[in-house]
Amino acid sequence: MVFFAVPVLVYTDSDQEIVAADALSEKTAASADMDTVDTSRCFIGDEMYFYVCKKPCTPSTEKTDLPANTPEHRLTVRYFLITRETTNHTNLDETIILHLPTPHGKLAPVQSARVLIDGPSELVFDYLIPEGMPVVTGCRVRIPLRNRDSTGTVLDIGEPPQTSFRLRAISSLIDPEPLITPHLMKLGKWIADYYVAPLEMVMRSLLPESVRQDTHSEKTRKVVAIKNFPNDETLAKLAKRAPKQHIILTLLKSSGGQMALKDLGGGSVSSSVKSLVKNDYVEMISEAVRRDPDADQEFLESKPLPLNEEQAEALKIITDPEQTKPILLHGVTGSGKTEVYLQAVQHALDEGKTAIVLIPEISLTPQTVQRFKSRFAAMQDQVAVLHSHLSQGERFDEWHRIRNGQARIVIGARSAIFAPLTNLGIIIVDEEHENTYKQETAPRYHGRDIAVLRAHFEKCPVVLGSATPSLESFQNTQSGKYQLIRLTARADAQTMPIIRVLDMRIEAQKQKGRIAILSDRLRASMEKKLENGEQIILFLNRRGFARSLQCPPCGHVCECQHCAIPLTYHRTEERLICHMCGYQSITPRKCPSCGDEAIRLQGYGTQKVEEVIQKVFPQARMARIDADTMRRKNALRDTLNKFKAHKIDIIIGTQMIAKGLHFPNVTLVGILNADLGLHVPDFRAGERTFQLLTQVAGRAGRGELEGEVIVQTFTPHSPSIQYARHHDFDGYAEQELQFRNQFLYPPFAHCALLGTRSTHERRAEFTLENLHKRLSKDCPGQIEIGEVMPSPLAKAHGQFRYQLMLKSTSARALHQHVQRTLAATPPPDDVTIVFDMDCLSFF
């Protein structure tokens, strides 16, 4: 039988029961009668009244009058549906929803919102948008959830879905303005999809906790202001009768009519102020004050420098409106990239736009922040700094200053890419090669990649800058996706430092197999610099748990034959395991290359170095900079300031000191063990070593004095060390890209890590093995799946960790396959799944 739909106007009472129905087409007016409506064929979704009639009819959009005798307050006018002639009445695909005038004569588009409920379980439900409530995507809303109230974020708005139950309505809006801009919403959805992360988690990254929970609020202070200043006569009386009140009034008058209560004397004057208020002479006002995280610092305005030729060319390309590709600014250390960023940001501001500047980790790059703050010192209020050390209150303030347009420049680490700026004019990613841009907890997004995507959505330029670009970005310039700009010389016309590579195998022979911390050469050089009153940086790239075997006499390192990365020593199994493919081998007692029995695990840390240096140079003033010594807030900033003021001669540090530091008096940089970063089970080890050596070396000789760098290594022939020594990025990139291509590593493929964690070792392993089986079934051709193996960090925080590697030339195929498999294979309650798309770390 063929059914036809009749457009009907339905009246419901407050309980949503149908009290009347009205056909909207004259021709079928007869069907307005409930009797003629085949109610057995009704679809009554919450808001969807869909009546089916046996007679053909023509829909009309004419407004029908409400039945005169129906009390208006009991009526809720719903919308109606029109379907075209159809043989299958359940097919609603081609349903058109028309908006009908309500009893109040206003248009009432019936729409629903898809709401992501706050909370750990990532619930998403549809809610009706009450008439007149200005709900848009990104709004925060209060909604009913079961029998309590809850809060959530609107992900989407659209026509109500077809449901077999009744949709409930949004109770109220939390913020009048959507806290997440539409571009950010789009970005959030992309991240959830690509990194296979729950959208709720992504939302947490987009909206800081303090902003989401509306418990935090603006900080206010009490201000006393003159209301009716007494005449001279009263004033004179007051001076005698209540001298305190007299003083307050005089103070207020002389300072322009108002003062903070605190400045007037706080509690000690409160009773006097109270009397003044009572007599209506003054009033008390609450004034919002900003919690300024840098309130204790002063920034002197710095003027733009005249650019050299290369810098000027770079700025021209960056600010060229025709330029649509992401830009990779490859400038050698000290080439003046920061000056280019500063002027590019100024350009965006001049055009009335806003800017985001990402830096690897704010507490590690205080100098960069200071330079931005100084340049824009005149507009201090328009600069917002976002970083992990902010208190909840500070974060709340900064965030709202950005959202309401007061702050136009946002400087921050990775998550600042989600700053809710509108009208973006430029995004800058400084030190784009840094790993810290990758978030190591879900959602495991890469800040640099998200920056490129956001710039694309917002149609604004994005500049990725580095002295040692990541091979991913560099390859993008080779393939034409990105635009490459180079700064080839130091801005102040200084020469690049001389890099000497010291063969520690020889040193080991001298020391009879013991691992020396200071070579004779480095020690002699340090002595000379200290005598000259120059400063020294000693660098030790210490990596904790993944340890490779290295033979001190010959420098040999045991590697996997399939993956060309060092094998990792697993103490419990007494075995060497490859962390890319799972290959295992026994631990050799003798060096497979030279037969020496001295083969051993590497290892000493910064603390040990400090001890040694103290013995060798007891008169030198030194400071150690690593995660242990720099726990205190501002500790790094203070130590670096001391170093700058030359109250410290030697700094001993880890990666923390590799970045963006500019100390003209540093003439010697010692890299104590370049191999530590080189022989880790990671195909990027070479790239990282090259980057670190180049960056650390770049700290030397940044002033009038020539710089010297000494690199101690057991593998002096390694390409990362040799190319770094010759300041040859292109040469390095060329041979490294060849290696990556050969073994199909990024940037030629996407790598991802799938892991399980559990307090029950077997369950962690089984769950992953099960996933492995399922992934292998119906696996798209481009995906390679590695074996299940214990993580290099086999147990952490009481949890056993297993992992497997996935590789694919198609990112989409990879994340979609994983997404599908994970969705179909929920893990046991006591096992956590970890998925790291485009992983940078293999632990």
Ligand X SMILES: Nc1ncnc2c1ncn2[C@@H]1O[C@H](COP(=O)(O)OP(=O)(O)OP(=O)(O)O)[C@@H](O)[C@H]1O
Query: Residue 463 has which token pair?
Result: 């500049």
Q: CB of residue 558 vs Zn ion: minimum separation in angstroms?
A: 12
Q: CB of residue 230 vs ligand X: minimum separation in angstroms?
A: 57
101 bridge partner residues: 107
In the complex with ligand X, which residue's Cβ is closer, 42 or 307? 307
- Cβ neighbours for 284, distance < 8 A, ≥ 6 positions apart: 222, 223, 224, 225, 261, 273, 277
421 within 8 A of 345, measured Cβ to Cβ: no
333 binds, among ligand X, Zn ion, none (CB under 5 to 8 A by kind): ligand X
- Kindly state whether residue 432 participates in binding ligand X, applying the rule CB under 6 A: no
- Binding part of the chain for ligand X, among 160-168, 253-261, 329-337, 381-389 by CB under 6 A, reads 329-337
734 binds, among ligand X, Zn ion, none (CB under 5 to 8 A by kind): none
Q: CB of residue 657 vs ligand X: minimum separation in angstroms?
A: 12
Work out the number of other CB atoms within 10 angstroms of the CB of residue 111.
17
- Lay out the sheet containing 4-6: strands in order across: 4-6, 49-53, 43-44
Q: Pick from 31, 245, 333, 791: which binds ligand X (CB under 6 A)?
A: 333
- Kindly state whether residue 307 participates in binding ligand X, applying the rule CB under 6 A: yes
Query: Residue 464 has which token pair?
Result: 């990725």
Q: Phi-psi bin for 779: left (phi > 0), alpha (psi -120 to 50), beta?
A: beta
Query: Residue 14 has which token pair?
Result: 């407050």
Q: In 3D, which of 89, 78, 26 has the Cα closest to residue 53?
A: 89
- Binding part of the chain for ligand X, among 171-179, 335-343, 526-534, 777-785 by CB under 6 A, reads 335-343
In the complex with Zn ion, which residue's Cβ is closer, 430 or 682? 682
In the complex with Zn ion, which residue's Cβ is closer, 384 or 563? 563
Q: Pick from 205, 210, 308, 673: which binds ligand X (CB under 6 A)?
A: 308
How many Å separate Cα 549 from the centre of its chain?
36
Is the link from the previous residue into 176 a cis peptide, with omega within 30 of 0? no
581 binds, among ligand X, Zn ion, none (CB under 5 to 8 A by kind): Zn ion
The pairing of strands 148-158 and 219-226 is unpaired
Q: Is 591 annotated as a binding residue?
A: yes
H or E, element range at 150: strand 148-158
- Cβ neighbours for 685, distance < 8 A, ≥ 6 positions apart: 565, 566, 677, 678, 679
At 714, the amino acid letter reads F
Q: CB of residue 648 vs Zn ion: minimum separation in angstroms?
A: 44
Query: Residue 709 has which token pair?
Result: 């760098």
**DSSP letter assigned to residue 414:** G
Binding-residue total with Zn ion (CB under 5 A): 7
408 within 8 A of 355, measured Cβ to Cβ: yes
- Kindly state whether residue 358 participates in binding Zn ion, applying the rule CB under 5 A: no
- Kindly state whether residue 563 participates in binding Zn ion, applying the rule CB under 5 A: yes
Beta strand ranges found along 656-771 (DSSP E)? 666-671, 708-713, 750-758
Q: In 3D, which of 448, 475, 359 has the Cα closest to residue 411?
A: 359
Helix, strand, or coil (residue 738): helix
Q: CB of residue 338 vs ligand X: minimum separation in angstroms?
A: 3
736 binds, among Zn ion, ligand X, none (CB under 5 to 8 A by kind): none
Q: Is 578 annotated as a binding residue?
A: yes
In the complex with ligand X, which residue's Cβ is closer, 337 or 740? 337
3-state secondary structure 263-286: HHCHHHHHHHHHHHHHCCCEEEEE
- Binding part of the chain for ligand X, among 192-200, 303-311, 772-780, 833-841 by CB under 6 A, reads 303-311
No. of helices (H) and no. of strands (E), the chain: 23, 40
339 binds, among Zn ion, ligand X, none (CB under 5 to 8 A by kind): ligand X
Q: CB of residue 433 vs ligand X: minimum separation in angstroms?
A: 11
- Cβ neighbours for 337, distance < 8 A, ≥ 6 positions apart: 329, 331, 430, 465, 467, 487
Q: Pick from 205, 335, 606, 691: which binds ligand X (CB under 6 A)?
A: 335
Query: Residue 327 has which token pair?
Result: 């830009």
580 binds, among Zn ion, ligand X, none (CB under 5 to 8 A by kind): Zn ion
445 within 8 A of 190, measured Cβ to Cβ: no
x/- map, 616-655, ligand X, by CB under 6 A: ----------------------------------------
Q: CB of residue 454 vs ligand X: minimum separation in angstroms?
A: 23
In the complex with ligand X, which residue's Cβ is closer, 443 or 469? 469
Distances in Å between the alpha carbon of 114 and those of 119, 124, 156, 557? Answer: 16, 7, 5, 55
- Kindly state whether residue 560 participates in binding Zn ion, applying the rule CB under 5 A: yes
x/- map, 658-697, ligand X, by CB under 6 A: --x-x-----------------------------------
In the complex with ligand X, which residue's Cβ is closer, 351 or 492? 492
Q: CB of residue 411 vs ligand X: minimum separation in angstroms?
A: 14
562 binds, among ligand X, Zn ion, none (CB under 5 to 8 A by kind): Zn ion
Q: In 3D, which of 564, 506, 542 has the Cα closest to residue 716?
A: 506
x/- map, 486-505, ligand X, by CB under 6 A: -----xx-------------
Residue linked to tokens 């208006």 = 72
- Kindly state whether residue 581 participates in binding Zn ion, applying the rule CB under 5 A: yes
816 within 8 A of 808, measured Cβ to Cβ: no
In the complex with ligand X, which residue's Cβ is closer, 492 or 628? 492
x/- map, 693-712, ligand X, by CB under 6 A: -----x--------------
Q: CB of residue 772 vs Zn ion: minimum separation in angstroms?
A: 17
Q: CB of residue 425 vs ligand X: minimum separation in angstroms?
A: 21
Range list of H helices, 386-470: 392-403, 447-458
Distances in Å between the alpha carbon of 76 and those of 11, 21, 335, 549, 648? Answer: 6, 11, 69, 77, 77
- Kindly state whether residue 339 participates in binding ligand X, applying the rule CB under 6 A: yes
Q: Is 581 annotated as a binding residue?
A: yes
At 680, the amino acid letter reads V
- Kindly state whether residue 554 participates in binding Zn ion, applying the rule CB under 5 A: no
Q: Between helices 811-824 and 761-776, what is the axis angle to 10°? A: 120
334 binds, among ligand X, Zn ion, none (CB under 5 to 8 A by kind): ligand X
The pairing of strands 666-671 and 708-713 is parallel
- Kindly state whether residue 743 participates in binding Zn ion, applying the rule CB under 5 A: no
x/- map, 309-328, ligand X, by CB under 6 A: --x-----------------
Binding-residue total with ligand X (CB under 6 A): 19
Given the rule CB under 6 A, which residues bind ligand X? 305-308, 311, 331, 333-339, 467, 491-492, 660, 662, 698
Given the rule CB under 5 A, which residues bind Zn ion? 560, 562-563, 578, 580-581, 583
Show binding-site residues for Zn(2+): 551, 554, 560, 563, 578, 581, 591, 594
